Amino acid sequence: CELVLDNIEQDFFIETPIHTFTLPNFSVYPDDFRQFLEKDLMAVSTQQSLEQANRLNWWTSVCQRLWPLSTSGDGNCLLHAASLGMWGFHDRLLTLRKSLHAFLSQSPRLEALWRRWRRQQSALNSQAGLVYSEVEWRREWNAIVSMASTEPRLRRPSIASDHSGEIAGAVYESLEEIHVLALAHVLRRPIIVVADTMLRDMNGEPLAPIPFGGIYLPLECSPSECHRSPLLLAYDGGHFSALVAMDTPADSTVVLSSAIPLVDASHDLLPIQFSIDPGDREDYGEKLELSQPDCVGLLKEYLDVLTIDLHEGEGLAKNLGKLGSIGKSVGQKLRLKLTRSNSQRGSKPTGILCAQLHTDKRHEYHDAMINNYLHTARLRFNQQQDQLVRTSYSCSLNLSIIVRVLSGFTM
């Protein structure tokens, strides 16, 4: 996948076709190998945490289930997750991180991002009783730009990190919400982050808000210049993961929409992060807010917004309950009615406001990469099974020897 900086605009965008990585259908494999693939590829703890919080896959009666992929935790997880979500591989060469840092350092659009960030951060500071001076504001912004640098924060001892033979060593600064917004501009593509709203202790008691969840639109780019299929990420435990769909079984009797809700399980609209540019207002737009119709209108400018009828989906959910493990199909066809959104605030929801996903757009090496992975995964699985057999035989042999020895003492 060849990535080049846009030299025409000198605006530090990455020129790349719209690609979306999709997992193959795992239901065609035996349960033991399927479970091996799940453990190898999925961020299981992230999935369990977000599903239990009712933030992820509450929509599986009407929209496709989504799966968080295991993503390297070296401080570059935001860019790794974005790369995995588009192409299926990590940002090992720091291509995305370099572009992100260049955008935040030199793009003529960075002043607009600064204003959007300052307005949103001011609201958070106000809640915490903090007041920054102008020097402190600029110092904070300079720190944000510096965080995106490709210079490692520290270097760990270089050791082989996994079966792929890649070397672990560099650890980078973790990134924040404004970096997600900047990345949406670099890619000229909306980003949706699925996250819980509150950090909780072991007893489930709230400790602090989690501000990452929501919709990030490339608002400083013309919608006509942007891809309309959003990039999906999960955020849990201070870590980003790619969020991807899975190919539908060819013989499936269920048709679920390739879409993601723009509302939560209570049908409240997800927050549009950094949605207001306060311009040159001295108070940085402290009291400015977008109405819900304004928010929906803004979403329609950058996304293919649809309303998915709930009635048949609710009937299906009553009959079948929550969908189970990977690839388990259900027994009746669900026909979804897709109409252009025209929801009214205060009325009882009859549909889910969603953004359409173009999962058919894949890079040319997608299938070859998947086939190569499955081949190597099968070899590793067979080696694991052989090792289990040898271990089991060794344990049985040792037990047999012990029994014989003990029998000799009793005779």
State the Cα–Cα distance between residues 349 and 343, nearest whole angstrom.
8
State the Cα–Cα distance between residues 178 and 47, nearest whole angstrom.
24
Chain Cα centroid distance, residue 162? 22
Tokens of 98: 């370099």
State the Cα–Cα distance between residues 293 and 300, nearest whole angstrom.
11
Tokens of 223: 């919608």
| Cβ–Cβ < 8 Å for 405, 399 | no
State the Cα–Cα distance between residues 41 and 21, nearest whole angstrom.
13
Tokens of 236: 């849990």
Whether 19 is catalytic is: no
State the Cα–Cα distance between residues 359 and 362, nearest whole angstrom.
7
Write the DSSP symbol of residue 158: E
> One of 63, 77, 295, 354 is an active-site residue; which one?
77
State the Cα–Cα distance between residues 347 and 341, nearest whole angstrom.
14
3-class state of residue 7 by DSSP: coil
The CA-CA-CA angle for residues 378, 379, 383, to 5°, reads 115
Whether 74 is catalytic is: yes
- In a 13 Å sphere around the CA of 84, the CA atoms on its Cβ side amount to 27
At a CB cut-off of 8 Å and minimum separation 6, what does 83 contact?
Answer: 89, 90, 91, 95, 96
- Provide the β-strand partners of residue 232: 192
At a CB cut-off of 8 Å and minimum separation 6, what does 305 contact?
Answer: 262, 296, 299, 340, 341, 353, 354, 355, 356
State the Cα–Cα distance between residues 345 and 3, nearest whole angstrom.
43
> One of 11, 74, 91, 236 is an active-site residue; which one?
74
3-class state of residue 131 by DSSP: coil
Whether 80 is catalytic is: no
Q: Considering only CA atoms, which of 107, 88, 96, 103 is closest in space to residue 3?
A: 96
> One of 19, 80, 101, 239 is an active-site residue; which one?
239
Task: Cite the active site residues.
Answer: 74, 77, 239
